[in-house]
Structure 1
Amino acid sequence: MSYLLRTSRIFLWLALTGLSTGILVASSLYLYLRPNLPEVEQLLDVKLQTPLRIYSNDNKLIAEFSEKRREPVTIGQIPELQLQAFMAAEDSRFFDHFGVDIKGLTRAAYELVSTGSIQSGGSTITMQVAKNYFLTRDRTFIRKFNEILLALQIERELPKDTIFELYLNKIYLGNRAYGLAAASRVYYDKPINELSLAQMAMIAGLPKAPSAYNPLANPERALERRNWILGRMKELGYISEDAWSLAIEAPVTAGYHTREAEVDADYVAEMARAEMVRRFGEEAYTDGYTVELTVNSKKQQTATKALRDGLEAYDRRHGFRGEIGRFEIKGLSAEQLSDRMLNYNQVASLIPAVVTEVDDKAGEALVHLRKLGPAIMPFESMKWARRYRTESLTGPEPEKPSDVVSEGDVIYVKVLELPRIEESQDDAPATQAPADMNPRVGLAQVPRVEGAIISLDAQTGAIEALSGGYSFNQSKYNRASQAERQPGSTFKPFLYLSALENGRTPATIYNDAPIVFDDDELETAWRPQNASGQFYGPTTLREGLYRSRNLVSIRLLRDLGASTTLDYLEQLKIPTDNMPKDLSLALGSGQLTPMELARGFAVIANGGYDVQPYLIKSIKESDGTVVYQAPETILCDEDCDELLATRNKSQQDVDELPETEGMVLPASAEDDNQPRVMRRLADERAVYILHSMMQDVIKRGTGRRALALERDDIAGKTGTTNQQKDTWFGGFNHSVATTVYVGFDQPAPLGRGEFGATTALPIWLDYMKVALDGTEPSTMRRPNGIVSIRINPETGERARPGEDGVFEMFRREEAPEPLPPEDSGNGSNGEQDEDLSRQIF
């Protein structure tokens, strides 16, 4: 007995010694590690890495930027079965333990010994939260001990539901999906409340090994893992026997789903992304900002399509440049053809295809598309394909398909028609399309010419639509905001507005006659001409503008003086750094970006007020807090000093911000409640008269194609530079100003017959048909101090009684004097003849 007692005492002392040693070691480790452990409160302030999302003003997704896909959800938004699926897979005693599950650790050790692998895992959900939010994934004892200590601390300070919510929003579930909601979208394209039981179990199986149990990469192992979780759910009483048997029979339905943009606006998205990074740094990609832009999805989609269609139309007019590649197709299966086509990228809506057969008798060619497989290309879609030789010369019109393509040619096509099943009539059975019916496609090619379109709200400067080129994926260069090009005759309205403010009138006459300028710096004399090559004699400024007479503009600029005109441009806030200081300025030989020109036209459109283009309407944080709201724009005259006083300090903050490409934001985030006060830059009477002159560009001049809109509130100006290298059209009503540019990135002639009216105006017209559809006419209010007087268009003077004449607008103080009653003959006295002579020559 004494021996047993003595032995028991020894074992007891050993146990106490071991326990004391364990406590001492644990205490020492705790005291050593505790000061370096993070505070649990930080979990509540953690910003999950949520994507930057950009939307149109009608809530259509334009783009999403991030390295990780995540959509945070609250515990109340998650179905109970989904919570139970994760508990069955990861931590069935989550609501019972205190952060560390001794039974779970024991079970994991037993599974490891008996099967060689761990099915359920030893870490609790709380321990995984500690690891995912605070620790590394290093497999070390110190890291594991830190994990346990943090789990105990988290359990003491946070409720279970909060811990579970943190876990489900942080875990990585494969394919760039972080968190439950993102995985639901990625694998099933569903919100979490629409998942089936089998799908819930499939997602719950991913945290253990997102790559090994991924239903896309390894569906067999994923199915095995899913069914094990369903079995655990049945054992734990979460689901019934019937629910279990139905779920394990369900097929694997996972697929890869990306959130597709609803608006084709890559250039706009890039402008917004760049501005967000400028303001918020790299956190813009991770802090869950939601950006609402000023663009309208319908207008933006129309602008993108109009620009692409216009550039393609120009390209077809100048011929087919041939195949983009070629390979031997004999003996290749459909799958092999598709594999070979992976070497060629889709550009916008143009799809690469290889010609597999050319049938001149049937008048068609058979092609194989990279994604759609076999398709038919009818000869009607190839008739445009004269062979390209130069921009002004093409070969003969093709007569049969073999004149255009050959077997093995790799070309671009556009889908014309997809196979479809015709709808039944009067409840009759639907007519099934033949099983072998192929899509119909048309021959296409990627345009070499480029362009841009910008549409602004003329009253506020808000960008309603913008595209900076044919395809952003092909070229990131944003021609709308970056391309500095010569505006050509679209510059003339600013020259004429300067003239109207400096004593000239629409009836002022200048001579449209040859003129020669000698310059010692030039090898030859400069002999400017009109586009027609003809000269038309004495011409009023109104006719000179709507017919775009170059010689009239040059003489006008010489009369005003280049320095006067440049000063006026600065008054209008039009950049003059790249403007010449000679008479070539009259022909638009300076350089402006399409954005700068569009902004200038918006100033004319709104009646002469300053506006600045902006793109971002609002910025919200992930919780919906608004951190920026575009301020209201107020157009004011001389009585706006009081408004300016309230705006003064915040405007200083704006001025100190670095300039941004494309003029994206109108003000800093601190100015949310301050209006943008925009002063008048031009005399409203001069602007009103210019409106009427530019309306004549549409009614009687170079922009007559715009009459197709059947609106009387449209004004505009075409533009074509020397050698037809750049072509433009800028047009507006009182509410909307839209500018289109077309030209090569490396300036080169566009070819014979290509002018602003043939390249840019059709794009503008296609866009404005939609942009103005259903809107009321918008015209500038006629200001006080304008009179209409009947004049003799040959002299610009008042018409005599009984004499043919036309009505013209004048600022009251500049109206022609009445003719003396005794005057006869040519309708002017000697003094007026001398003045007329000065104006002509």
Structure 2
Amino acid sequence: MNPSRRPLALGLVLATLAASACNLPDLKQEQAEAPALPQTSFVFAADGSLITPLHAEQNRVIVPLSKIPENVRNAVVAIEDKRYYDHMGIDVKALLRAAYVDATTGRIVEGGSTITQQYVKNAYTGDEQTLSRKFREAVLAYQLEQTLSKDEILARYLNTVYFGNGAYGIQAAAETYFGRPASELTLAQAALLAGLIAAPADYDPVVRPNLATNRRNQVLTQMRELGMIEPGAFASAVQRPVNLHIRQRSTERYPAPYFVDYFKQWFLSNPRFGKTVQDRYDLLFKGGLRIQTTIVPRLQEQAEQAVHSILLYRSDPYAAMTVIDPRTGYIKAMVGGRNYWDPNDRFAKVNLAAGGSTGRQAGSAFKPFTLVAALEHGISPSQYFNGSSVAVPLSDGTVWTPGNAEGSSYGYISLESATINSVNVAYVNIEKAVGDGDIYLGAQRVVDTAKRMGIRCCTQTTSPKNQLVPVPSAVIGTNEVNTLEMASAYGTLADGGAHVAPTPVVTITTPDGKVLYQARANPKQVVNPAIVTVADGILQKVVLYGTGAAANIGRPQIGKTGTAQNYSDAWFVGAVPQLVAAVWVGFPQGQVSMQFPTTRISPVYGGTWPAQIWRAFMVNATHNLPVKPFPTSNVRFVTLRIDVTQGCLANPYTPPQNVDTQTFIAGTEPQLKVCKQPTSYQLLPVPSVIGLKESAAIDLLRSAGFVANVAYAASDQRAGTVIAQDPQAGQRALQTSTVTITVSRKVSTEVVPNVLGMTQAAARTVLRDAGFEASVQEQQQCDPADPACSYQTGVVWAQSPSAGTKLPSGSTITIIVNP
């Protein structure tokens, strides 16, 4: 430019500044309107270990000046603003020089900004390349110097400035480039970072190590010239190689990725953290939060190992698992798929533990909710239902005829046995009974129970999001669910009927330590403890000798298997008092039948791979947990004799064949009145008891309404068997009358004792003790007048049969006695 035009250019600059001065900016207003400085949030496990940082485009962690070494501060001052401690926020000499150059070239060329001005630009004015913006920056910098100390300004600057590779602030820069906090930076490392501020891309040590090294040495030279470091320290630092420890932000893997995804969804969908999703996003990724989650690294690792130990091959189905502490609702582990980090798996980032996009059919794992509904409705565990056939008229005019697994037929089976053996047909009939004969009402009551216990607890963060559908097939698990809600609902059974909503977080605090969120267990008693005690007793038998035996770990545990239609989904959900885990196995792409040749075992039931995974996890997870029983309640039972022909309580004259004795949990029994008819004893058919054992015959007669009288007789029939009865079978006799039964007596063989020479009384005693009867005949042995006759009155002189003969016990021995 022509020298004669320089005064004109300077005049233009001064004119522009003068015009801007008419509208001076106000620091307080700027501070009030400035957006909060983005800070990186950190997600920690329950044991305090770091899981992963979370940040948006700016990775920043604010640290106080006390944690920034003096070498770092000096290095930045030396290279960015060597007169920092001498000016009042504006280096007039540098500013006029830069303004002159900018004006004479017609564009912004030189900065001339002090550290204070750079901070103002980062925090308030932005980096618009105009003279008016530069003027506002200078004014605000001056005002800031009147408000804060040099150290305070320098600390703020070091926490805002960009160091490249996504690192904002000195702490993030130290972690990004050297894998250490700012407080541990060496002199050489401090100089390298200080050198990046002017041009992070140009001096990037990752892609331009030589330029970065030269720039570092330039900073060190400036520090030496300003007397900030000794010559020896300078010589040592410039000789050090640049050894980086780069944190690869885009490819870095962290533990429990499916859980982290779930946590993000939980946070972003929670109105307590902001009115809008954007507000919550800004808080999570820019708010510098410290988040202590519920995840336990040991349990997480054991859950992943359990899945991989059973499903070994890429051709195997996928698995998902959620583990919860039922007492607190804390999510302890979550496996959402095969490998979150697999770039070749299109389902890798789909969190199947949270249901994926649809959820999956629960199969018979849904039956415990019907079990609870049935017990609440007054159905006894011992009440019998048809387990072989059922036909259900549907609302669309068709008839549904469900079957059992593999076409099994069970006849009539109790509620307890139907649960242990997972009998579909019986459970459809149970559902109908829950609805008092209306199966749609029964289905509604079943899904209401499931919802009350925890199903659909978390529709903001999981799938499916639709409500449970109360259709007849709901009882066998045609509604879709996910492992989180299944674990949560079974947790209600593990904790005595109290439900605690699941949570992934213990505490969330802001950078300054303010508690933003604190998890508080708020158990809600949703099922009567007495009902849960009975249900748990049945579900423990499922694992002991029912369909869930493959999950048995040898301690008190409940559980239930589930297999969806066409074997497309398989479940095992179970619990010990301290932990509940839900396991699903299936293919994420859809309802793929898990039968050969698709799977290497055929078919896949809930009692196969899912139960095995559950056991593989729980054996390790419970290793250090004390063995505890489930919470129990003093369950009182009520027994009622019901006349099933009239639906009332049997009276003393009710025929026994009309009476069904049913046991109910106290409080669930039906409120029935005593039958008014009949009013007298009835003529009842006498049952046949011939051939039965004595005790069975007595029980049968008693149950038929009669009293048994027992007589015994020797017989060649098996001892204790009824050989006759009176009245005969089929005859009619008055209720409560007596039926005499004759029972065979064992016939034993005894040896006839010798009673010759004994008195009649003594002989009788000996024979009786030997098991014989005595028949006495009086006859003279000889003529008493004959001197040769040794006649003794009353003495036995002959017996028949003779001594030593073997006869049946009870036989008669004839003895001849002298008169």
What TM bracket, shorter-length normalisation? 0.5 to 0.7
Note if contact 1:491-1:586 (Cα within 8 Å) is conserved in structure 2: yes
TM-score, normalized by length of structure 1? 0.66
Alpha-carbon spacing, 1:787–1:246, altered in 2? closer, same or farther (3 Å) = same
Taking the aligned partners of 2:539 and 2:568, their CA distance within structure 1 comes to 24
Taking the aligned partners of 1:480 and 1:223, their CA distance within structure 2 comes to 49
1:554 corresponds to: 428
Task: Say which is worse superposed, 68-77 or 118-127, in terms of deviation.
Answer: 118-127
Q: CA deviation at 1:695?
A: 0.7
Matched AA of 2:303: A
Aligned: 1:733 with 2:576 = yes
Instruction: Identify unmatched segments of 5+ residues in structure 2.
Output: 1-6, 103-107, 457-465, 596-601, 640-661, 670-694, 707-819
Higher relative contact order (CA 8 A, sep 6+): 1
Aligned: 1:567 with 2:417 = no
2:480 corresponds to: 591
Matched AA of 1:493: P
2:365 corresponds to: 490
Aligned: 1:780 with 2:630 = yes
Matched AA of 2:531: A
TM-score, normalized by length of structure 2? 0.68
Taking the aligned partners of 1:190 and 1:520, their CA distance within structure 2 comes to 68
Q: CA deviation at 1:258?
A: 4.1
Taking the aligned partners of 1:517 and 1:100, their CA distance within structure 2 comes to 87
Task: Say which is worse superposed, 587-596 or 491-500, in terms of deviation.
Answer: 587-596
Aligned: 1:187 with 2:177 = yes
Indicate the SS of the match to 2:559. Answer: strand
Correspondence 1:229-248 to 2 at 5 A: 229-248=219-238
2:496 corresponds to: 607
Aligned: 1:512 with 2:501 = no
Q: Deviations over 1:596-644 (max 9, x none)?
A: 32222111221112332222322211211112212342x4xxxxxxxxx
2:351 corresponds to: 478
Taking the aligned partners of 1:125 and 1:518, their CA distance within structure 2 comes to 82
Matched AA of 1:233: M
1:824 corresponds to: 699
Matched AA of 1:573: K
Indicate the SS of the match to 1:295. Answer: coil
Matched AA of 2:570: T
Q: CA deviation at 1:184?
A: 0.7
Instruction: Identify unmatched segments of 5+ residues in structure 1.
Output: 1-16, 113-117, 317-444, 636-677, 790-807, 832-841
Matched AA of 2:282: E
Aligned: 1:52 with 2:41 = yes
Indicate the SS of the match to 1:824. Answer: helix
Alpha-carbon spacing, 1:169–1:765, altered in 2? closer, same or farther (3 Å) = same
Indicate the SS of the match to 1:238. Answer: coil
Taking the aligned partners of 1:107 and 1:788, their CA distance within structure 2 comes to 99
Taking the aligned partners of 2:81 and 2:29, their CA distance within structure 1 comes to 21
Task: Say which is worse superposed, 231-240 or 560-569, in terms of deviation.
Answer: 560-569
Note if contact 2:361-2:481 (Cα within 8 Å) is conserved in structure 1: yes
Q: CA deviation at 1:580?
A: 5.6
Alpha-carbon spacing, 1:148–1:731, altered in 2? closer, same or farther (3 Å) = same
2:268 corresponds to: 277
Taking the aligned partners of 1:263 and 1:607, their CA distance within structure 2 comes to 36
Q: CA deviation at 1:161?
A: 0.6
Taking the aligned partners of 2:705 and 2:386, their CA distance within structure 1 comes to 19
Q: Deviations over 1:525-562 (max 9, x none)?
A: 75433224332333332222112122322232233333
Alpha-carbon spacing, 1:222–1:590, altered in 2? closer, same or farther (3 Å) = closer
Indicate the SS of the match to 1:781. Answer: coil
Alpha-carbon spacing, 1:72–1:108, altered in 2? closer, same or farther (3 Å) = same
1:718 corresponds to: 561
Taking the aligned partners of 1:119 and 1:225, their CA distance within structure 2 comes to 21
Correspondence 1:787-806 to 2 at 5 A: none
Note if contact 1:264-1:304 (Cα within 8 Å) is conserved in structure 2: no
Q: CA deviation at 1:41?
A: 7.4
Indicate the SS of the match to 1:64. Answer: strand
Q: CA deviation at 1:469?
A: 2.4
Q: CA deviation at 1:182?
A: 0.8
1:94 corresponds to: 84
Taking the aligned partners of 1:46 and 1:249, their CA distance within structure 2 comes to 42
1:410 corresponds to: none
Alpha-carbon spacing, 1:146–1:206, altered in 2? closer, same or farther (3 Å) = same
Note if contact 1:38-1:134 (Cα within 8 Å) is conserved in structure 2: no
Matched AA of 1:602: G
User: RMSD of the TM alignment (CA)?
Assistant: 3.7
Alpha-carbon spacing, 1:693–1:136, altered in 2? closer, same or farther (3 Å) = same
Note if contact 2:91-2:114 (Cα within 8 Å) is conserved in structure 1: yes
Note if contact 2:361-2:478 (Cα within 8 Å) is conserved in structure 1: yes
2:151 to 149, 161, 166: 161
Note if contact 1:487-1:588 (Cα within 8 Å) is conserved in structure 2: yes
2:516 corresponds to: 627
Taking the aligned partners of 1:517 and 1:627, their CA distance within structure 2 comes to 53
1:174 to 161, 164, 173: 164
Taking the aligned partners of 2:668 and 2:268, their CA distance within structure 1 comes to 53
Q: CA deviation at 1:231?
A: 1.0
Q: Deviations over 1:96-117 (max 9, x none)?
A: 12222245568989999xxxxx
Indicate the SS of the match to 1:756. Answer: coil
Note if contact 2:13-2:99 (Cα within 8 Å) is conserved in structure 1: no
Which structure has the larger Rg? 2
Indicate the SS of the match to 1:716. Answer: strand
Taking the aligned partners of 1:46 and 1:223, their CA distance within structure 2 comes to 35
Q: CA deviation at 1:159?
A: 0.9
1:227 to 206, 217, 234: 217
2:645 corresponds to: none
Note if contact 1:509-1:540 (Cα within 8 Å) is conserved in structure 2: yes
Matched AA of 2:608: T
1:418 corresponds to: none
Taking the aligned partners of 1:701 and 1:192, their CA distance within structure 2 comes to 60
Alpha-carbon spacing, 1:120–1:228, altered in 2? closer, same or farther (3 Å) = farther
Correspondence 1:277-676 to 2 at 5 A: 277-278=268-269, 279-280=273-274, 281=279, 282-284=281-283, 285-310=285-310, 312-313=311-312, 316=313, 445=314, 449-472=317-340, 474-475=346-347, 476-482=349-355, 483-515=358-390, 526-561=400-435, 562=439, 563-574=441-452, 581=470, 583-633=472-522, 635=523
Note if contact 2:17-2:135 (Cα within 8 Å) is conserved in structure 1: no
Q: Deviations over 1:70-115 (max 9, x none)?
A: 1111111111111111111111121112222245568989999xxx
Matched AA of 2:384: I
